[in-house]
Amino acid sequence: MQFFIAGRQLQLATLEFYQHHLETDGLLVAATFAEPLGHYLEGEGEEGIGRTLAMIQQEVGHNYLIVDHNYRVVGYTADTGYEHIDRVDETPELVEARSERIGADIRPNQSGQDTLYLAVSVLYEGDSLGYLVLSEPMQPAYREVNQRYIELAGASLPVLGLVIAASLWISGTISRPVQSLRNSAMLMAKGALDTRIQITSQDEVGQLAETFNYMAGQIESLMKTQRSFVSNAAHELRTPLMMLKLRAEALAEETLPTAERDLYLREIRQEIDHMAELVSSLLMLARIDEGRYQQNRVVTDTVSTLYDILRNWRIEAEKRALKFDITMDTGLPELPMSPNDLRLILDNLLANAIKYTSEGSIHVKAAYSQKGFALEVQDTGVGFTPEQSVYLFERFYRSEQVRGKFAGNGLGLSVVKSILQQYGGQVEAQSKGIRQGATFTVTLPLSQLANPVTHLTKEP
């Protein structure tokens, strides 16, 4: 495009130069003829004019015709075709010259060649006596234009080539990484979750690739967790089902003594309770995972709700000869949490504390500070190592000191953690080591509290 614009400019400039050059000649020659034409018109012979024209043609070149005011032919150079013509037609250049002093027109001559005709009015003492018509074939000008085009192409083609090569290279550097991003996304969509992109730059595309890799990592670990969750759940259900099957087969035995029959029936009931618990924990986790778990209720009377929940656990603890203490701030605020959820959290923590503590005490503390609401369940039980503490809240995790010795699915703490996440809260575990007891602390941040109180009073 640029090439053609430049070419067109060159063409116009060349033709204009050609025309101006001829105009200068025409004006000079017209000036030369002012006096002779004046004499001629006053009755002197025309030979003088013809001869002068021939001389000028030899000196300057071009073909000439001189006409008077009425376009009567006064003189001409050879081969111009005016030999037998008395008067010429009013051609466009003559019309223009009449008003503008100088006029130009390009048209084919008698032999069909494009020719430039220039008419210049011949002035003598301010009066126009007639016109000098200079004619010159356009061929040399056209040839020059072609030559200019060739030169232009010669100069611009390498540049054009460079520009094309550079733009191909630039578009390649942009599109290649985007293409590889797209391919990786397609691979992932087909299930290759370990797909990652090699990051080769730090620009926007590089950042996009980094984000993609991060997202791919997250998806991969999420899928891994999900898969292991399903297989663990299936595994956890298979054991009690096996056990139910064996007991059912034993019960089919008619000769089975009554005592054993009662034992098996009791075991079957326990197993069913255990499975029911497992299924409800799984359902709860699935609902939270899917984002279908929303509770917009509030614990209004926090202190009495807590005492209400703890009453049963005190009985349970005392049954096992465990000491049970409660320390509670009296001015506890409303909790932006469903009472059911508060119960689920405490039930899980206390069930663990009592289950994993064979002697000693359980201590529950509920406090409210500038940091928010904190609930602590402390026991003197089996405890855990710092390494184990990392896994306690993972689904189905059970430490080796409890596995096989205490019943459980390894889901209670993950339920606690998931519920708390819904409310922006968290749960932490601490232990000085194995058989050193454990402390689980639940916190709800201040901003989550519906009606924070500023003055706290302690129970006397």
Ligand X SMILES: Nc1ncnc2c1ncn2[C@@H]1O[C@H](COP(=O)(O)OP(=O)(O)OP(=O)(O)O)[C@@H](O)[C@H]1O
The span from the CA of 205 to the CA of 184, in Å, is 14
Cβ 438 to ligand X, closest distance in Å? 4
d(CA 393, CA 417): 7
CB of 410 to ligand X, least distance (A): 4
Closest to ligand X by CB, 93 or 236: 236
CB nearest Mg ion: which residue? 412
Question: For residue 161, which amino acid is it?
Answer: G
In terms of CB distance, is 82 or 384 closer to ligand X?
A: 384
Does position 410 bind Mg ion by CB under 5 A?
no
For residue 209, which amino acid is it? A
Partner whose footprint covers residue 195, from ligand X, Mg ion, none (CB < 5 to 8 Å by kind): none
Half-sphere exposure of 299 (CA within 13 A, CB side): 24
Q: How many angstroms separate the Cα of 455 from the Cα of each of 89, 283, 459?
A: 117, 40, 13
Out of Mg ion, ligand X, none, what residue 310 binds, judged by CB under 5 to 8 A for its kind, is: none
Choice from 75, 130, 339, 412 touching Mg ion (CB under 5 A): 412
Cβ proximity to Mg ion: between 281 and 302 the closer is 281
Element (H, E) at 450: none
Residue 283 CB, nearest distance to Mg ion (Å)?
A: 17
Q: Rounded to an integer, what distance in angstroms lies between the CA atom of residue 279 and that of residue 284?
A: 9
Question: Which one of ligand X, Mg ion, none is in contact with 14 (Cβ closer than 5 to 8 A by kind)?
Answer: none
Residue with Cβ nearer ligand X (150 or 286): 286
Helices and strands in the chain: count of H runs, count of E runs: 10, 10
Q: How far is the CB of 398 from ligand X (least distance, A)?
A: 3
Q: Could you tell me which of 349, 432, 425, 441 has the C-alpha nearest to residue 388?
A: 432
Site string for Mg ion, 327-356 (x = CB under 5 A): -------------------------x----
- Give the start-end residues of each E strand in 85-238: 102-108, 114-124, 127-137
In the bound complex, what is the minimum distance in angstroms from residue 309's beta carbon to Mg ion? 16
The Cα 181–Cα 189 span in angstroms is 12
User: How far apart are CB 381 and ligand X at their closest, in Å?
Assistant: 5
Beta-carbon contacts of residue 366 (< 8 Å; ≥ 6 apart): 302, 303, 306, 326, 327, 328, 329, 332, 373, 374, 375, 376
Please identify, using beta-carbon distances, which residue of 128 and 389 lies nearer to ligand X: 389
Report in angstroms how near the CB of residue 415 gets to Mg ion at its nearest: 9
Q: Which residue is nearest to ligand X (CB)?
A: 412
Partner whose binding site includes residue 438, from Mg ion, ligand X, none (CB under 5 to 8 Å by kind): ligand X
Name the residue nearer to Mg ion (CB basis): 240 or 336.
Answer: 240
CA atoms within 13 A on the CB side of 256: 16
Q: CB neighbours of 136 closer than 8 A, spacing ≥ 6?
A: 22, 61, 62, 63, 115, 116, 118
Binding-site residue total for Mg ion (CB under 5 A)?
A: 2
Query: Interface with ligand X by CB under 6 A: which residues?
Result: 348, 352-353, 356, 379, 381-384, 392, 397-399, 402, 408-414, 438
Give the shortest CB-322-to-Mg ion separation in angstroms.
16
Nearer to ligand X, 310 or 413 (CB): 413
**Smaller CB separation from Mg ion, 412 or 425:** 412
40 touches 73 (CB < 8 A):
no
Q: How near is the Cβ of 334 to Mg ion at its closest, in Å?
A: 28
* Nearer of residues 14 and 352 to Mg ion, judged by Cβ: 352
In the chain the first and final C-alpha atoms are separated, in Å, by: 93
CA 135 from centroid of its chain's CA atoms = 68
With CB under 5 to 8 Å by kind, the binding choice for 74 among ligand X, Mg ion, none is none
409 binds, among Mg ion, ligand X, none (CB under 5 to 8 A by kind): ligand X
Structure tokens at 66: 């001189």
Residues that bind Mg ion (CB under 5 A): 352, 412
